[in-house]
Chain A
């Protein structure tokens, strides 16, 4: 067996190891109900949930409560299957939060509460204004 063959086999082995570990470490996008079920069966790994903030008829965001010292807050999020869920975030509200069109929370259930470790926002406002305010 030539040295170059050993080398190629080695590279392929590393590449496969990378693919497998990516598959293992990858998180998943799920709905709140699935996440709840996962948590109740003892699976505590972090997952992604995609959804929107709860809004009233006029389009104002409702259901945001700041913690006493403004360093944490909770909000109501509606996932793609229209399930409402209170999400708790132990950090101050991220910039552009209330303007976001779509919210992705990364975290897990703890009892009936969903604890977010990270919030990703998809903001039309950041690069694209939607409407003119006079």
Chain B
């Protein structure tokens, strides 16, 4: 029992909570003080408290990691999410596998960001950090794990509770209170993927950064500096937009690579819960930029910046309170924090609303009507479109919340989210995307010049013509016929072309200003990639054999899948396809080993080499990832050969086979293949009745249609698996079989002990043949060989072609680059003003 580390961790949690409250109080005091010396001393207090807080958060993280790294399974967290086999990088991802750890990750980022803000801001430090410290206090309370005396109310769920505390009812702890499990439950194999190491930190950094614009906005309202908060907030809003967007797309990319629904986005409530705040964040960036240039849209900026942060809190509530339980495939279960999460949400929602309402009359706004030829007008329409886009997703996602509210007031509502989520959301989002594409193409021209009708026509004509040409080419080649798809193709091509034109003209003089154009080009590419990869995804593994694989499975399964027997090539969509081998991944990271070259043991993660091959000696024990089997499948077309390794993860605990695709990537399209059905390794194999034949040395015969010979029959003194005595006689036959890809050798044994005959058969699993040395006829120098055959190893695959999907991923990177360029520019502006002593 290692009590110390848990107690230390718990101490740090309490310290983090108290110090954040101290920082909140000190900064609050500092904000209100006019007296310089008093203000300074409160500021110092606040700064020290926040540093203590940040160190405490670091302390919590280190304590938790020590527990995980040293496999202290007496702790609930280590037992539930890790095991001894996990390599270090996955051990890191167990850190945020539980809810407590993900709160911790969030806090950690905010602590880091808080320290950066303390050092980059003078004027804004006190009010901004007041809000920061308050948010940190709320987050720290989530992992406090303290039961209030008297009212018996539990605050937070601690990551440092012992297993016996969390599972007090488990019988083992009644008998043996000091019981420590030998190994933990491990990390879900699906999450053992490098994207799951970097995706959550990125996403939570995105969450954490939305707090910064919000804090500046609240500080501006509080100090009546209605105009000034935008400048320091804008670079952070851009940073947040980039990171949150990247985090969301990483999740999609993981799904594309690991799951086999063939896509990257499923419109699941958990996904929607981060998509909506991101849309609103992007809208707020647009209104803030408008404000910086023309003094309009200040009120809209305040509303949108606040909405972004509140929506992040709302999505936290949705995913962690258990309210989505019946609606989502993967939401966290309730840790009993719903009440606390609601308080957290409402404190900031009501706080922001009350503060804004109180100051509303004083907030400057321009009464001037925006002209239809002004950039403000177009940007405002763009931002509104983004908001409606978010609203359309938010509303159905909130149906479970609606049901809860209705039942709270005694009513009953049995509304459920739309049954066909993808179809439902796509049919709306498609039209919004068309609007966004067109607006970002036209809007950018207004952005750079004040222009009238005639000039606009002149400016827009060349890019519109080029766009029309490219568009005509794309829809002809891609055979786009759906009207909505045609429009979206045009909108995305138009925005790419129009923004490229602007990029060229801006880039010559001031490349630092090109962020907007670059970001919009990226967005156009993403739209194009999404449209083609989703709208024109094509099944290429059409079953052309006329054979029905299974009557139970639906028509779709029999039509869209291809059955491959080992080493029997099939043709499909112009490819010759062959199932070559099954591979196991080595734990030491040195690649793969053929499954047929090894023998399984009782431990699924250890196998024994059968012969000297691939640097292993016969009988070597090799450590592998036992749950994963990779199917080596070769595709040949026009003299080119490439090999894919789709993975099947067999996990009896999870009641199924999890199949992950392998992807051959080209710019034109991804070739996406996964195993839709495999032979179960534990299944009893059905052998045919034995067929006997007499043969002699080096005489060819057929076994399961393969040319075979008995190369030698020798007397041996050792037989694997049994000990020979002096009276025993043992003979070994060496049989070679010419397979289509290689020659196989097997050695069945024939054994006489106490005048009784024993036979040890030998199998060639690749060919599905079992040889038995049935008898020896010394008088004629012949042997009787018994042959049993079975169905050869098989795998059923499904292959899809995903056109232009890499344009989506590239577009994402371009979008991020655009955000970054804009962020650098805005940060420079802020620094210049700060150096002048104005911030």
* Residues of A bordering B, CB below 8 Å: 2-4, 7, 11, 14-15, 18-19, 21-22, 25-30, 45-48, 50, 67-72, 90, 92-99, 102, 104, 106, 117-118, 120-124, 126-132, 134
**A22-B392, A22-B399 are known contacts; what are 6 more A-B pairs with Cβ within 8 Å?**
A14-B388, A28-B416, A69-B677, A72-B550, A106-B416, A124-B333
21 contacts between A and B (CB under 8 A): A18-B391, A25-B396, A26-B399, A26-B416, A27-B418, A27-B419, A29-B416, A68-B551, A69-B677, A70-B677, A71-B550, A72-B550, A90-B553, A93-B655, A97-B656, A106-B419, A120-B326, A128-B333, A129-B185, A131-B170, A132-B163
Q: Report, nearest first, the 7 A-B pairs whose CB atoms are least far apart.
A: A67-B552, A46-B419, A69-B550, A48-B416, A90-B554, A27-B416, A71-B553
Shortest CB–CB separation between residue B330 and chain A, in angstroms?
Answer: 7
In chain B between 395 and 436, which residues have their CB closer than 8 angstroms to a CB of chain A?
A: 395-396, 399, 414-420, 424, 428
Asked whether any CB of chain A lies closer than 8 Å to the CB of B263, the reply is no
| CB–CB B384/A11 < 8 A | yes
| CB–CB A2/B419 < 8 A | no
In the bound complex, residues from chain B placing their C-beta under 8 Å from that of A70 are 657, 677, 680
Asked whether any CB of chain A lies closer than 8 Å to the CB of B284, the reply is no
| CB–CB A48/B554 < 8 A | no
Chain B residue nearest to A21 in the complex (CB)? B428
| CB–CB B557/A90 < 8 A | yes
Shortest CB–CB separation between residue B369 and chain A, in angstroms?
Answer: 6
Shortest CB–CB separation between residue B246 and chain A, in angstroms?
Answer: 25
Taking A29-B326, A92-B657, A121-B329 as contacts, is the C-beta distance between A131 and B167 under 8 angstroms? yes
Asked whether any CB of chain A lies closer than 8 Å to the CB of B80, the reply is yes
| CB–CB B329/A120 < 8 A | yes
| CB–CB A95/B190 < 8 A | yes
Asked whether any CB of chain A lies closer than 8 Å to the CB of B549, the reply is yes
Shortest CB–CB separation between residue B90 and chain A, in angstroms?
Answer: 17
| CB–CB B553/A132 < 8 A | no
In the bound complex, residues from chain A placing their C-beta under 8 Å from that of B396 are 22, 25-26
| CB–CB B325/A69 < 8 A | no
Shortest CB–CB separation between residue A91 and chain B, in angstroms?
Answer: 8
| CB–CB A127/B332 < 8 A | yes
In the bound complex, residues from chain A placing their C-beta under 8 Å from that of B150 are none
| CB–CB A3/B553 < 8 A | no
| CB–CB A95/B181 < 8 A | no
Shortest CB–CB separation between residue A18 and chain B, in angstroms?
Answer: 5
A66 to B108, CA, bound (A): 47
In the bound complex, residues from chain B placing their C-beta under 8 Å from that of A50 are 326
Interface flags for B546-590 (1: CB within 8 Å of A; 0: not) read: 000111111011000000000000000000000000000000000
In the bound complex, residues from chain B placing their C-beta under 8 Å from that of A123 are 333
Asked whether any CB of chain A lies closer than 8 Å to the CB of B600, the reply is no
Asked whether any CB of chain A lies closer than 8 Å to the CB of B667, the reply is no
Taking A90-B553, A120-B329 as contacts, is the C-beta distance between A99 and B167 under 8 angstroms? no
A22 to B657, CA, bound (A): 35
Shortest CB–CB separation between residue B184 and chain A, in angstroms?
Answer: 9
A67 to B328, CA, bound (A): 26
Shortest CB–CB separation between residue A101 and chain B, in angstroms?
Answer: 9
Asked whether any CB of chain A lies closer than 8 Å to the CB of B31, the reply is no
A11 to B395, CA, bound (A): 16
A2 to B656, CA, bound (A): 62
A21 to B553, CA, bound (A): 34
| CB–CB B395/A94 < 8 A | no
Contact of A98 among B181, B557, B655 (CB under 8 A): B655
| CB–CB A132/B167 < 8 A | yes
In the bound complex, residues from chain B placing their C-beta under 8 Å from that of A45 are 419
In the bound complex, residues from chain A placing their C-beta under 8 Å from that of B395 are 18-19, 22
In the bound complex, residues from chain A placing their C-beta under 8 Å from that of B554 are 72, 90
Interface flags for B322-336 (1: CB within 8 Å of A; 0: not) read: 000111111011010
Asked whether any CB of chain A lies closer than 8 Å to the CB of B1, the reply is no
| CB–CB A102/B417 < 8 A | no
| CB–CB A68/B369 < 8 A | no
| CB–CB B549/A69 < 8 A | yes
A48 to B395, CA, bound (A): 18
| CB–CB A67/B553 < 8 A | yes
A121 to B417, CA, bound (A): 15
A11 to B283, CA, bound (A): 15
| CB–CB A118/B391 < 8 A | no
